Amino acid sequence: MLCNWKNVLVFNTLTRNCRQFATKQRTFREVKIPVPWGHIAGKWWDPSDKRPILAIHGWQDNCGSFDRLIPLLNEDVGVLAIDLPGHGYSSRLPPGMYYHNMNYPIIIRHISNYFKWPKVSLMGHSLGGISCFLYTTLFPELVDFLICIDGVKPLYKKNNGPRMALGIQELLKYDELSRNPEEPPSYVMDVMKKKLTALNNESISIEHCHHILDRNIAQSKSDPNKYYFTRDPRLKARLILNWSQKDLLEGAYRVTSPILMIKFSGSGYYEEKENFYEILEALKRASKAAEMHYIDGPHHTHLNNPETVYMIINKFIETHDIEKRDIGGIVKDIL
């Protein structure tokens, strides 16, 4: 059944009977892709009869992060935007397991194998961009192009031992919370919006935060006027896996496929920025075509103001979308 909604996705946390939606005349279908611990959920934006671009969101977001960008992209190429494990509608990792940044290249490999994609096209925001970069350093011959939006390399932190120790303590705390049968704290919708927009220096606008909230909350059973966050609490534990700058530099020289990088002016580097520019120079040398663009705006500009980036992305796709897409379309089992 097609919901004939013209310009915007309707936000409704209570009713999700329509499994295919329309926004600006581009439709998507809700999907669930099987993985050994459960499923990876997502939205497959048409066309769905051929290999799509795989889109990966940032930390504690979900595939709704791309709701306003994807309808503006090249309509000849489909996009499969997924919820990472513990986010959105995707299954959480098993109890006791840690969410680290190598989980996500593994997810890309699971999905690529499931659909038998000969190559994968990647687009990621923040942690998603980092995941795309890492996957490409590991499997450079299997990536036809990648688009990294305000996130490319993993952060390198000196003296990481104390951070790792603290991260393990946080894991134990949040792992216990994740197994607590009691309902998490709940809040009225206005408070939920403020809590979400407060992240990343208020980079998500109140006006558009519902695109993230829709897949991140559930209605309280004790008070129907309140909601609680459904993402896995273990996601809050800081990362304990640290990459050396030397390893990242070696990996960057393996990225031979075309790469588009977009940096938002209101977002920081979160490490010594020289580390980023060293990787950038390596990518310029190794890649067939490396583009770097600087755009004014906060970390979620692709959601708040997608009109500032979509033309750059479309031009990149039109230039580098040269591999066949006839293998790897949608299958009935995941609808």
Return the number of other C-beta atoms located less than 10 Å from residue 146's C-beta.
Answer: 27
In this structure, what token pair is assigned to residue 111?
């999905």
Sign of CA dihedral 270, 237, 66, 108: positive
126 is catalytic: yes
| CA-closest candidate to residue 13, choices 304, 233, 227 | 227
CA distance 285 to 292: 13
Write phi, then psi, for 293 (nearest 5 degrees): -125, 140
Write phi, then psi, for 53 (nearest 5 degrees): -80, 135
CA distance 297 to 315: 21
Return the number of other C-beta atoms located less than 10 Å from residue 111's C-beta.
Answer: 20
91, 121, 126, 178: which one is catalytic?
126
CA distance 188 to 66: 25
Q: Is 139 strand, coil or helix?
A: coil
Q: Is 11 strand, coil or helix?
A: coil
Catalytically annotated residues: 126
